[in-house]
Amino acid sequence: MVKIIMHGCNGHMGQVISGLVAQDPDAEIVAGIDVADQGKNSYPVYTNMKECQVEADALIDFSSAKATDALLDYCAERKLPVVLCTTGLSEEQLAKVEETAKKVAVLKSANMSLGINTLMKLLQDAAKVLATAGFDMEIVEKHHRLKLDAPSGTALALADSLNEAMDNQYHYTYDRSQRRQMRDDKEIGISAVRGGTIVGEHEVIFAGPDEVIEFKHTAYSKAVFGKGAVEAAKFLAGKPAGRYEMSDVISAK
């Protein structure tokens, strides 16, 4: 039984994970931490992180970048492996993540879904064959109308996977409206669609002479991120200090 502390337990993802873990015989949330609490959880909730000294195997964080510095210090001090899912960290915070990973196990990923992380691995193999054979690579992502940033962090991470497989020789294009020229060989086009309540769709297109291969991932609910985070917490429990990725969780399966 993996004992988990849920940081940001009263937020959207914190509640998704509370629901998932309640149905999971191999995991238990032993405490929650959140700045706001209405006492509706089945586990004790601390509004002041320092007061939470409950014994646990791992901490899952879906909260706010404003909380990240104190959280990293807390986990390092308690030697508590941490699954860091909060996005929007500053350069300084990313450096602090690396420093903290010298003292305790840290897994950070902008997209916790096992599907997207598996897709990234598959894309690298595909790019090495297809891009080398002259196929053009394009990404189309679709999200709900409320999303503020474009393209999505996940689309950029997919592009980075493709580019890394091709020795980082490619550049990214987000808008072709201002130019009148054919696409560059070493270009990855990234297009963003916004509308309705689409949770998240990512399509990676390899377009070659007379044939096209498409990889598509669709998230139907935020539960996919929650499931990945719980898998990551189980993986991280008992691991020595170091920096871990979702790809490590997938490889261990």
Ligand X SMILES: NC(=O)c1ccc[n+]([C@@H]2O[C@H](COP(=O)([O-])OP(=O)(O)OC[C@H]3O[C@@H](n4cnc5c(N)ncnc54)[C@H](O)[C@@H]3O)[C@@H](O)[C@H]2O)c1
- 147 an active-site residue? yes
Q: Kindly provide the b/e burial profile for residues 189-214, where b requires at least 16 CB atoms within 10 angstroms of the residue's own CB.
A: bbbbeeeeebebbbbbbbeeeeeeee
**DSSP 8-class letter at 23:** T
From the list 7, 143, 202, 234, the catalytic residue is 143
Number of residues that bind ligand X (CB under 6 A): 24
Q: Rounded to an integer, what distance in angstroms lies between the CA atom of residue 167 and that of residue 148?
A: 31
**Residue of 16, 58, 4, 11 whose CA lies nearest to 224:** 16
CA 130 to chain CA centroid, Å, is 26
CB-wise, 136 or 154, nearer to ligand X? 154
247 contributes a contact to ligand X by CB under 6 A: no
DSSP H/E element including 45? strand 45-46
Residue pointed to by tokens 């002479």: 209
62 contributes a contact to ligand X by CB under 6 A: yes
User: Considering only residues 34, 136, 141, 231, which one is a binding residue for ligand X as defined by CB under 6 A?
Assistant: 34
What are residue 136's DSSP bridge partners?
Answer: 207
Stretch that binds ligand X, among 6-14, 51-59, 131-139, 205-213 (CB under 6 A): 6-14
Residue 136: CB minimum distance to ligand X, A: 28
As given in the structure block, the two tokens for residue 239 are 């691991």
CB-wise, 1 or 70, nearer to ligand X? 70
From the list 96, 121, 147, 239, the catalytic residue is 147
Residue 205: CB partners within 8 Å, gap ≥ 6? Answer: 137, 138, 139, 140, 212, 213, 214
Binding positions for ligand X, 110-149, rule CB under 6 A: 110-112
Residues marked as binding for NAD(+)? 8-13, 34, 85-87, 109-112
Residues contributing to the site for ligand X (CB under 6 A)? 8, 10-14, 33-36, 62-64, 66-67, 85-88, 109-112, 225
Residues marked as binding for (S)-2,3,4,5-tetrahydrodipicolinate? 144, 153-154
Residues with a catalytic annotation lie at 143, 147
